[in-house]
Amino acid sequence: MARQTEFIELSEQEQSSLKTFFRSGNSSNRRQTRARILDLLAKQTTPPEIARLLGCALPTVYNVKRRFLAEGLEMALQERSRSGKPPTISGEARARITVLACSEAPEGHARWTLRLLADKSVELGFVEQISHQAVKQILKKTNCDRI
């Protein structure tokens, strides 16, 4: 037997908030999609139909609905913070490493190597420790072609 879809009911205040939200149009696409999902659920559109209309995944529709029922309108529209390790190398250190890589190579070397850059960065006190692979990732993002 197929599962019955439970639709949501928006209060007058929530409906007016969504209308204002749609009119402003200065939010991210993901936030707009979440708002449209809630609006369509309130208009008793089925989740598979919503997913098809908005071009999103069916679990997205169910997740937005679940968050709305558990935490309310504002939390259902917001992006949750994502986990992940914060960067260990500061932006200033990254900039200094990039400037170092774009400078002239040290005496006795034709050009900078990743290991030379890593050693010199530690020697100059930009960072306490850094691997040549971390230097590679920093320079990869800056399109530095001096290496």
Q: What is the pLDDT of residues 8-34, one digit of tens each?
A: 888 889 888 888 888 887 888 889 999
Global pTM value: 0.57
The pLDDT assigned to 116 comes to 95
Judge if 65 and 112 occupy the same domain: no
Paired tokens of 141: 């993002």
Q: How many domains does the chain have?
A: 2
Is residue 98 predicted with pLDDT exceeding 70? Answer: yes
Number of C-beta neighbours around residue 5 at 10 A: 13
Domain annotation covers residue 59 = yes
- pLDDT band, residue 1 (cuts 50/70/90): very low
Domain that holds residue 50: 12-77
CA distances in angstroms from 134 to 113, 117, 118, listed in the order given: 13, 10, 8
Judge if 106 and 64 occupy the same domain: no
Is residue 56 predicted with pLDDT exceeding 90? Answer: yes
Number of C-beta neighbours around residue 47 at 10 A: 19
Is residue 115 predicted with pLDDT exceeding 70? Answer: yes
